[in-house]
Structure 1
Amino acid sequence: MERGKGRLWFHTASVGEFNTAKPLLKRLYKDHHITLTYFSPRAKRYLQSQEGKGYFHELYRLPLDLPPFVKSFEKRIKPSAILIMERELWPFLLLSTKAPKVWLNAYTKGGLLERLLSKRFSLILAREEKDAEKFRSYGISEVFACGNLKFVFEEPPPVEIKLETSKLLVAGSTHPGEEEVIKRVYERLLKELKEVKLLIAPRHISRATEVLRLFQNLGASLRSKEEEGWNVLVLDTLGELFSLYRYAKVSFVGGTLVPVGGHNLLEPAYFGKPVLYGPYTHKVGELRAFLEKIGLGFCVRDEKELYKTVLRLFTEEDTEKHTTLKEHGEKVLECYLFHLNAFLEKVL
């Protein structure tokens, strides 16, 4: 083995769980040989695209959950420990393997099967204290509440824009029906505030030219061309929105004023920016609750509330909260690494 202290078998269900685990994987990669397995066939292509990026050394589909297959795979890769993300509680994976097991980002749903299988873990790192308490009630002692790994992000690469004011509203992942509302709100803001700018990112960049036409009379430019002195910048490039939220004074996340269900509410909060969203957040309810809990989330029911809230936040002296999601995420990640490294020191 070329690298590290031992082999780790790290299992995630699909793309979402893998992305949640990426900051943790990157830190573990430096000291351990990581064999990543996945369950969803649809995840294969994406995970293959992540090879060589410092997350894992080997990639395999999870073997069929029957004793001969699970035992054979374990014998083949010889892991020192098995790390399992979230609810991937495959009975024979847990019952037929010999290596000590760690349950990461764990949360409870209850039931007899959960009670029985959770006892197969040598260490459980839970999302919340209520989950940890439930696991302890099953008779498991090595349980710690570290927080939700979904709220841990990798630092996005820096990007630059031509901006001469701190008054920037960034509206990300917008849909038809929302851009028209944002335009009317922005027109009203121009009457109240000096040098206010708007950066708008349609959810599908194929619509960028359509959105540009909507804002053309307000001095709009495409990000790919970025003319001098723009008032409205329409994002038509991939992979930049997360980084560009750092320039916002206030942010709005789309798919929420129309019945889509919401998109990533956490990216603006990573930089400590207030995050506004409409009432349609059924796909991101957990993220919304978290942001409102830490004082960074604001639900606006309609155009009138959106205007009033943006104006209030623009005119407040300090809209950036002292605790950013970045700081929160660093604490969560350090908790996971502390307990995980202590455990691995014992078993490797």
Structure 2
Amino acid sequence: MRLLYSFVWGLSLPFAVFRLWWRGRREPGYRQHIAERLGFFPAYQTQATIWVHAVSAGETRAAEPLIRALLDAYPQHHLLLTHMTATGRETGGKLFADVSSRLTQAFLPYDINWMMRRFLRHYSPQLCVLIETEVWPNLIAQCKELQVPVTLVNARLSEKSLNKARRLSALMLPAAHAISAVAAQSNPDADRLRELGISEPQVTGNMKFDVTPPALMAERGIALRRSFGERQVILCASTRDGEEELILAAFQEQFPLLTEKPLLIITPRHPQRFDQVAGMLETRGIAYVRRSTLDHDTVAPIASDVQVLLGDTMGEMYMYYAAADVAFVGGSLVPLGGHNLIEACAMGKAVLTGLHTFNFSEITDQAIAAGAALRVDGARSMLREALALLGDDKKRNDMGQHAYAFFLQHQGATARTMAILAPYLS
């Protein structure tokens, strides 16, 4: 099965490279370092190396506390951080600029045997640390052949992903069996990972709870909030394709009926969709302003007739949460599995989420049970609930306090993960 998988990868390689070039029209980072994706890398000084693979921006941010803990605990080691997306690499460059002398970034090659072999021989890592959901058959097979232990940390596996893996069991089971250690985010994730064939996954929690909200982002959030005047703010964070149209339609229905007009902030999850959402706003005749047109630190007052702020920047999510009164976390109005609520809880905000949260089912259910979040069944009910919270200071503030307490209660995953990795780095 793996031979067939490799053969298909080889046939699709020209199309994969073309896709990089095509995506590079909107995200220039995809047209950079293409040789790395094909297994060719710049010179690297041989040294003890810990390799962490974080596919995109979300996984890179989740890995931050672990990467810093590894650099502190193993000062004799260098850290190699690999990605698959341009936003992941950009995020890593910003997060770890202060430790750039001890950290090298690269794109992971496509999952083709000879490319992975070249990669492993070039960097000679002592340990491979995969973040969240990245299980690549040839990567793991080549690590096994070259005796590089593979660990999967902050691991999560939805029922949908498990069913997909079952259909490819002849390919995925050998890869799962070759993983040396697994640190799962939750008990349901651990149960599904066992069904996949991974023995003895340990539940360590979600490392995103250990991320410290940057003080600079909180300051920028305060400055941004001042620019809104007295208006209250509803944030729709990390929205996905299909959600913005629902939100804007509901917003236009309810906005004319309101005596006090709140400001709506929409931050699309993926940067390639910023212009698309701007087009939706223009088509609907909604007055809006783009965050990218505003000064980063000292923001001038935003005109009172502006209805929507389009968050078209990367790396400022904590700022948007700091500026908001109520936060809806996207990916959950449509069946995409949702996104985690941790950043909103870390900023002490009342949180709303939709019905589709299967990627983060346990943490979402726990946040709702803790009084930190509310579940809504659509865009209209989301806006109605948000408006009700804006009008109920006590309930909104209580939810914010519960959210922050929930955030603090779940910290410690990084230390537990470090204990699992220690035997492979001694």
TM-score strictly above 0.5:
yes
Partner of 1:83: 129
Aligned: 1:36 with 2:50: no
In structure 2, what is the Cα distance between the partners aligned to 1:222 and 1:139?
46
> Once the 2 structures are TM-superposed, how far is the Cα of residue 199 of structure 1 from its aligned partner?
3.3
Check the 8 A contact 2:245/2:280 in 1, yes or no: no
In structure 2, what is the Cα distance between the partners aligned to 1:130 and 1:256?
19
In structure 1, what is the Cα distance between the partners aligned to 2:336 and 2:177?
37
Aligned: 1:275 with 2:351: yes
Partner of 1:120: 178
Aligned: 1:168 with 2:168: no
In structure 2, what is the Cα distance between the partners aligned to 1:12 and 1:256?
23
In structure 2, what is the Cα distance between the partners aligned to 1:331 and 1:22?
17
Aligned: 1:145 with 2:224: no
In structure 1, what is the Cα distance between the partners aligned to 2:374 and 2:177?
37
Partner of 1:181: 250
> Once the 2 structures are TM-superposed, how far is the Cα of residue 52 of structure 1 from its aligned partner?
7.0
In structure 2, what is the Cα distance between the partners aligned to 1:231 and 1:247?
19
TM-score, normalized by length of structure 1? 0.69
In structure 1, what is the Cα distance between the partners aligned to 2:55 and 2:404?
25
> Once the 2 structures are TM-superposed, how far is the Cα of residue 73 of structure 1 from its aligned partner?
4.3
> Once the 2 structures are TM-superposed, how far is the Cα of residue 145 of structure 1 from its aligned partner?
0.5
* Equivalent AA in structure 2 for residue 214 of structure 1: I
Give the gaps of 5 or more residues in structure 1. Answer: none
Moved more, 241-250 or 173-182: 173-182
Check the 8 A contact 2:290/2:312 in 1, yes or no: no
Partner of 1:298: 375
Q: For this pair of structures, how many residues does the alignment match?
A: 328
In structure 2, what is the Cα distance between the partners aligned to 1:17 and 1:65?
23
In structure 1, what is the Cα distance between the partners aligned to 2:383 and 2:311?
26
Check the 8 A contact 1:208/1:234 in 2, yes or no: no
Aligned: 1:57 with 2:116: no
Selected match of 1:247 from 323, 337, 344: 323
Q: 1:329 to 1:88 in 2, by over 3 A?
A: farther
Q: 1:249 to 1:118 in 2, by over 3 A?
A: same
Percent identity between the aligned chains?
18
Q: 1:246 to 1:292 in 2, by over 3 A?
A: farther
Partner of 1:234: 308
Q: 1:292 to 1:226 in 2, by over 3 A?
A: farther
Q: Pairwise mapping of residues 187-336 of structure 1 onto structure 2 (< 5 A)? A: 187-190=256-259, 197-201=262-266, 203=268, 204=274, 206-207=278-279, 210=282, 214=286, 224=294, 226-227=300-301, 230=304, 234-236=308-310, 238-239=312-313, 240=316, 242-252=318-328, 266=341, 267-276=343-352, 281=356, 285-287=358-360, 290-295=363-368, 296-301=373-378, 303=380, 306-307=383-384, 310-312=387-389, 314-315=391-392, 317-319=394-396, 320-324=399-403, 328=407, 331=410, 334-336=412-414
Partner deviation per Cα, 1:40-65 (whole Å, 9 max, x = no partner): 5xx36852674475284142533765
Q: 1:118 to 1:46 in 2, by over 3 A?
A: closer
In structure 1, what is the Cα distance between the partners aligned to 2:329 and 2:156?
27
> Once the 2 structures are TM-superposed, how far is the Cα of residue 243 of structure 1 from its aligned partner?
1.2
Q: 1:87 to 1:7 in 2, by over 3 A?
A: same
Secondary structure in 1 matching 2:344 = helix
Partner deviation per Cα, 1:207-230 (whole Å, 9 max, x = no partner): 497389535xxxx87763753783
Check the 8 A contact 2:53/2:82 in 1, yes or no: yes
Secondary structure in 2 matching 1:243 = helix
> Once the 2 structures are TM-superposed, how far is the Cα of residue 250 of structure 1 from its aligned partner?
2.0
* Equivalent AA in structure 1 for residue 78 of structure 2: H
Check the 8 A contact 1:254/1:262 in 2, yes or no: no
> Once the 2 structures are TM-superposed, how far is the Cα of residue 17 of structure 1 from its aligned partner?
4.2
Partner of 1:106: 155
> Once the 2 structures are TM-superposed, how far is the Cα of residue 272 of structure 1 from its aligned partner?
3.4
Give the gaps of 5 or more residues in structure 2. Answer: 1-43, 269-273
* Equivalent AA in structure 1 for residue 367 of structure 2: I
Secondary structure in 1 matching 2:80 = strand
Aligned: 1:344 with 2:422: yes
Q: 1:27 to 1:330 in 2, by over 3 A?
A: farther
Moved more, 125-134 or 203-212: 203-212
Q: 1:264 to 1:339 in 2, by over 3 A?
A: closer
Q: Give 1 or 2: higher helix fraction.
A: 2
Partner deviation per Cα, 1:252-271 (whole Å, 9 max, x = no partner): 456776x6969756353442
Partner of 2:13: none
Q: What's the Cα RMSD here?
A: 4.6
> Once the 2 structures are TM-superposed, how far is the Cα of residue 124 of structure 1 from its aligned partner?
1.6
Aligned: 1:24 with 2:66: yes
Check the 8 A contact 2:229/2:301 in 1, yes or no: no
